[in-house]
Amino acid sequence: MDEDDLDALEREIPALSRIARFAKGLAAIPWFANLGEPLTAGARAVAARYVEALGFPEAEVAILVDWDDAAAAAESLDWHSPAWEAEELLRADLTARALDYLSEEALTLAMTLVADRVAGPARGAMEEASAIWDMTDEAARQLAVGAAVQAAHQSALLLLAASSPDIDAENHPFAAKFQLFEFGRWPVGVVGGSFNLF
C-alpha cells in the first residue's frame, strides 16, 4: 500500500465509522411493531413530510388497517410510477455524492454491512408480526422486509452524502421514510393521490 492509498483510506474512515454506528443501531428499531395501530401525531407529521419532500404534497395518507390491504397495496405498486422514479433519482444522486467521500469498494462494503445488519432484525420482527396477525402470505412478508432493507440502504446513503453543503438531511424524504419504520410502520408507497401506510 503506497502513500496515496493510505491517504485515501484515512479520508474514508470517518464516513465508514458513521455507517458502522448506524448499522449497529438497526437491531434496536421496532420494525413493524405498530402495524394496523392508530397513527400517532408524530408519525402522521413524518408521513406528511415524506410525501411533501418527495414531491407529492397533495398525496393523502391512507392508513392500511390489515395485512390484506397492505399486501394488495404492495403487490399493485407500479415500479415505474412517478413516486418510484422520484426515489430512484434521489438514490442515484446520493450514491454519486457518497462516492465523493468513499471509493466504490468502500461504498459497496458499507452498503453490504447495512443490508446484513438490517435483514435479520427486520425478518425476525416480521415473523413476530405475522404470528400476531396470523398472516401466512410469504410474498407480502418478503415485500415488507425488502422495504425495510431498502429504507436502511437509502438512509445510509443519505448519511454518507450529508456532508454535501446542499443536502438538507433532516428534511430529506429518505430520512422521513426511515423514521416511519422507526415508528414501527411500513410505508408501502405512493399510488395515485394516496400514500399507503401500514
Confidence at residue 14, expressed as pLDDT on a 0 to 100 scale: 85
Beta-carbon neighbour count of residue 128 at 10 Å?
Answer: 12
Among 82-86, 135-139, 158-162, 181-185, the range scoring the smallest mean pLDDT is 135-139
Q: What would the pLDDT profile of 25-79 be if each residue is shown by its tens digit?
A: 999 999 999 999 999 999 999 999 999 999 999 999 999 999 989 988 888 776 6
CB–CB of 60/194 below 8 Å?
yes
Tell me what percent of the residues of the chain surpass a pLDDT of 70: 94
- CA dist 138 and 131 (Å) reads 12
Distance CA 9, CA 193 (A): 46
For residues 198 and 196, what is the distance between their CA atoms, to the nearest angstrom? Answer: 7
For residue 30, what pLDDT is reported?
98
Closest by Cα among 29, 78, 18, 14 to 177 = 29
Nearest 10 degrees: Cα torsion 72, 115, 32, 57: -60
Q: For residue 6, is pLDDT > 60?
A: no
CA distance 38 to 65: 9
Q: For all residues of the chain together, what is the average pLDDT?
A: 92
pLDDT of residue 156: 97
Per-residue model confidence as pLDDT tens digits over 85-125? 999 999 999 999 999 989 999 999 999 999 999 999 999 99
Grade residue 163 by pLDDT with cuts at 50, 70 and 90: confident
Distances (CA, A) of 3 to 7, 8, 132: 6, 9, 56
pTM across the whole model:
0.91
At 137, the amino acid letter reads: D
DSSP-based helix, strand, coil % in the chain, nearest 5:
65, 5, 25
Question: Contacts by 179-182 with C-beta closer than 8 Å and gap 24+?
Answer: 179/46, 180/43, 180/46, 180/47, 180/50, 181/29, 181/31, 181/148, 181/151, 181/152, 182/29, 182/30
